[in-house]
């Protein structure tokens, strides 16, 4: 933690969860080069901390993120900023630990890209969303990679072309969000999800995330054939052996440290 700069975000670890809180309030958590660098650094710290089992990205203020920092983007196309955003999206996608987006405000443009890249995304019903790129003469290019893997294509096409505002219910319906809840339920919903995530074995959760990101545009039989060695590997691994032994002997496996009340 000593090496982690925290000027534009907060970072804390508690109960096996790293919570990253975007707090660049002066520009509504716009994705400036500074914020992107700090977010990348925080994620790397969480990735390398064996005591962290899950990561939550939340925010202070009325906006999760207002998107790209336009004051930077208008300068020489901000190649460095776009490269940092690409690096961030790739890192979240590849992280072996699950990442949850916790949204309680406005998300625009690149901010939606971060939400779409996270493994689980929960928002309050007061959150709002918009792909604002076309309104400023640009296109949602980088973020289309995660967004089009989440959203219904027809709804994504409409919303990316029009740039119109849409609410959390529509974001949930379209597949952008895992679910939306009332504002007073947001904290407890995310806490419950984290508890469920930490009941799984670390290696198995990482393996499941990797599995979910595999390309399934193959023949069904070929897909089954590709999955067979993966199943054999995981069922024969130390974690699975320990987990099956714990189940049969009616005790918790070694990776569970909670009270066992969330099964």
How are the residues of the chain apportioned to helix, strand and coil, as percentages rounded to the nearest 5? Answer: 50, 15, 35
Residue with tokens 């998107």: 67
Catalytic residue list contains 133: yes
Neighbours of 217 (CB within 10 A): 6
Asked whether the beta carbons of 81 and 125 are under 8 A apart, the reply is no
Catalytic residue among 7, 38, 60, 133: 133
**Beta-bridge partner residues of 65:** 107
Q: What is the rounded distance in angstroms from the CA atom of residue 100 to the CA atom of residue 116? A: 10
Q: What is the rounded distance in angstroms from the CA atom of residue 58 to the CA atom of residue 69? A: 18
H or E, element range at 38:
helix 33-48
Active site amino acids:
133
């Amino acid at each position: 933690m000593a090496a982690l700069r925290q000027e534009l975000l907060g970072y804390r670890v508690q109960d096996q969860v790293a919570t990253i809180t975007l707090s660049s309030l002066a520009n509504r958590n716009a994705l400036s080069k500074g914020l992107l660098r700090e977010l990348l650094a925080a994620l790397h710290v969480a990735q390398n901390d064996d005591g962290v089992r899950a990561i939550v990205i939340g925010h202070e203020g009325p906006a999760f993120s207002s998107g790209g920092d336009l004051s930077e983007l208008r300068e020489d196309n901000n190649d460095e900023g776009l490269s940092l955003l690409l690096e961030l999206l790739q890192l979240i996608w590849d992280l072996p630990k699950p990442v949850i987006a916790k949204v309680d405000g406005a998300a625009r443009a690149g901010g939606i890209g971060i939400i779409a890249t996270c493994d689980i995304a929960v928002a309050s019903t007061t959150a709002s969303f918009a792909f604002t790129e076309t309104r400023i003469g640009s296109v949602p290019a980088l973020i289309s990679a995660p967004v089009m893997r989440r959203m219904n294509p027809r709804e994504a096409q409409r919303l990316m072309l029009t740039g119109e505002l849409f609410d959390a219910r529509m974001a949930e319906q379209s597949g952008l969000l895992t679910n939306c809840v009332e504002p007073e339920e947001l904290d407890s919903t995310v806490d419950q999800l984290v508890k469920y995530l930490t009941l799984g074995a670390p290696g198995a959760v990482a393996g499941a995330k990797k599995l979910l990101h595999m390309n399934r545009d193959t023949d069904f039989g070929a897909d089954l054939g590709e999955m067979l060695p993966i199943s054999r590997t995981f069922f024969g691994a130390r974690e699975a052996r320990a987990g099956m032994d714990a189940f049969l002997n009616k005790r918790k496996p070694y990776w569970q440290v909670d009270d066992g009340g969330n099964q």
